[in-house]
Structure 1
């Protein structure tokens, strides 16, 4: 990440909006923003698949594994302001291939740490799990508040956008999908 270029750009933005980047409260802002961007966009240099190692191959568990209410944040690629909320990630293991529960949360975190669309984030989480675990099915539901709708534009604070991605058995079997959705809402 080119932190010096970010610092120059932030300084230019401050000047462009009519601020004095040399005033006391803003002197260190370009550096703070550069360090923050390095952290919140770290997913650009990470592969979410690296988090999904198969830990258990001999388990006989082939029932739903669901981790819900995973907090996350990301940055809207249209406005570069945050969107944040909860992700719910479930999969039906095949052949005893299980991963650590925290690994599902790490996939969400990594996929979110880049300029993003909620729809793409949801699909990328699902596709990563499909590719790495080869389960019978995957379901991902993401609910988020978008600051681009809260701070500007329609200014609808508290409105939530919900997206889902279903793969495998969850696409074909309405009963399985409904079971997972019921547990997510529970």
Structure 2
């Protein structure tokens, strides 16, 4: 990877041997290993590590989960927030595991639509709740830094499973709770 970064630097007209760039290939490699660390993690293991029996049947929401991902089309940042809800069916997840699941999928090359689906499906499959809802509100640097150059535009995606898809009032309750978090 370091050699590839040197080649990129040369290609854009830089000198990879100049002082400020000498360690850049190594730093870029470390950064990409971190930003794509989700490929080495299993969301099922994360969820299973903190799964508890519960009689709770009310909505559980973790909102405003910061996420940083990378667009698979241009390899530029996606920056946003995820809002995740589920209605337990005999099991609950340790609350800190929900942001960890978001990170697992965010730290891969992504499109936001797929990211939203992956988070919902992982939780749905692991705990078989009454329902799962995931909404992501994010900015895409591929739209802001290049191409259409629409600064501060956001994309909102949702994935609804179970009762959130079947019952409008459940979906509406979730959307009402998270709506104050959307970019304004």
Q: Give the TM-score normalised by the residue count of structure 1.
A: 0.94
State the match for 2:66 in structure 1: 71
- Select which of 8, 28, 39 maps to 2:34: 39
Among 44, 49, 56, the alignment partner of 2:44 is 49
2:130 aligns with 136
How far did residue 50 of structure 1 move?
1.5
CA distance, structure 2, for counterparts of residue 172 and residue 61 of structure 1 = 20
Q: Deviations over 1:77-132 (max 9, x none)?
A: 0000100110000000002x011111000000111001111001000000000000
- In the TM superposition, structure 1's runs of 4+ consecutive aligned residues that sit over 4 Å from their partners are none
In structure 2, the residue corresponding to 1:22 is in which secondary structure? coil
* Count of paired positions: 179
The aligned residue for residue 8 of structure 2 is 13
Cross-structure match for 2:107:
113
TM-score normalised according to structure 2 size: 0.95
2:101 is the counterpart of 1:83: no
1:30 corresponds, among 6, 18, 25, to 25
Write the distance in 1 (CA, Å) between the matches of 2:140 and 2:44.
26
Deviation at 1:55, TM superposition (A): 3.0
Paired residue secondary structure (2:52): coil
1:99 matched to 2:76:
no
Runs of 5+ unmatched residues, structure 1: 1-5
Once residues 166 and 140 of structure 1 are traced to their aligned partners in structure 2, the CA distance between those partners, rounded to angstroms, is 7
Distance 1:80 1:10 in 2: 14
- Aligned-residue offset at 1:24: 0.8
RMSD of aligned residue pairs (Cα, Å): 0.9
